[in-house]
Amino acid sequence: MDITYDVPRPAYYTHGTPAERWERARMFFDAKDYAAAARVLDGLVAEVPEQTGPRLLLARAYYHSAQLHRAEAELRVIVERDPVEHYARLMLGRTLERQGRAEEAGTHLRVAAALSGDLRQT
């Protein structure tokens, strides 16, 4: 006879203040545990959706963990809010490239290059 206990899992990913969760997410990201970083950041972005930093790091965590559609969605929110955010444009272009959408990626990569002053790529 198998006995299964329903043990609640610790709320590690949602525990603490936003600043503590930001630091935890950065720690996971720096350790290349991108999926864990995304779990922390997902809740943080929901709590402070107007902040670009957590959303950009969430997009990067999604990108590095090959969750490209999720990365694209987060990057599009950033670019829609701030069209001159060159790093978000660059990441969006690279994300689209990885999805095989080279023509669409090229537009964002050219804008990113122009915004950063690197006109060699345009």
CATH number of 27's domain: 1.25.40.10
The structure tokens listed for 93 are: 């272009």
68: nearest Cα among 42, 95, 108: 95
Can you give the residue range of the structural domain that contains 100? 18-121
The answer to whether position 60 is within a domain reads yes
Residue 74: Cβ-neighbour burial (10 angstroms; 0-12, 13-18, 19+) = buried
Q: Is residue 68 part of a domain?
A: yes
Does 7 have pLDDT greater than 50?
no
Q: What is the mean pLDDT of the chain?
A: 88
Is the pLDDT reported for residue 109 higher than 70? yes
Do the domain assignments include residue 86? yes
DSSP designation for 17: -
Q: What is d(CA 72, CA 64) in angstroms, rounded to the nearest whole number?
A: 12
Q: Is residue 6 part of a domain?
A: no
Q: What is the CA radius of gyration of the chain?
A: 17
Q: Measuring CA to CA, which residue among 59, 122, 42 is closest to residue 94?
A: 59
Per-residue model confidence as pLDDT tens digits over 61-80: 999 999 999 999 999 999 99
Quick check: 81 pLDDT over 70?
A: yes
Number of domains in the chain: 1
What per-residue confidence (pLDDT) applies to 119?
Answer: 63
